[in-house]
Amino acid sequence: MEIAETFKRYGFEKVLDLAYQDPEKYLPYIMHFVDSISEDRFSSQRALVRKAIEEKDHPYHIYVRHLFHDLDPEIAKKLVTNIMIYAGIFGSKTRNEMKETYGRKRWPWVIGMSEDYDLEEMDDMITQGEEVGIFIYLIEEPLTEEVLDMLKEHTHSTFVFFTDGDHLDSNRMSKIMKLRNIMITLTKEKEETMALLKKKCVYFGLSSKTIDEDWFEDKMNEGYYYLWYKTKSPDEFALLKTYRQKRPLLMVDESKDMYILENPHGSVLENIKNDRK
Question: Mean of the pLDDT values across residues 67-76?
Answer: 94
Question: Mean of the pLDDT values across residues 170-183?
Answer: 96
pLDDT of residue 75: 97
On the question of pLDDT at 247 being above 90, the answer is no
On the question of pLDDT at 211 being above 80, the answer is no
Domain-wise residue ranges, the chain: 106-274
pTM for this entry: 0.94
Confidence of residue 210 (pLDDT cuts 50, 70, 90): confident
On the question of pLDDT at 112 being above 90, the answer is yes
Nearest to 102 by CA among 142, 130, 72, 132: 132
Angle of CA points 21, 56, 13, to nearest 5°: 30
Question: Mean of the pLDDT values across residues 248-270?
Answer: 93
pLDDT of residue 167: 87
CATH of 106-274, one of 3.20.20.70, 1.10.150.20, 3.90.180.10, 3.30.430.20: 3.20.20.70
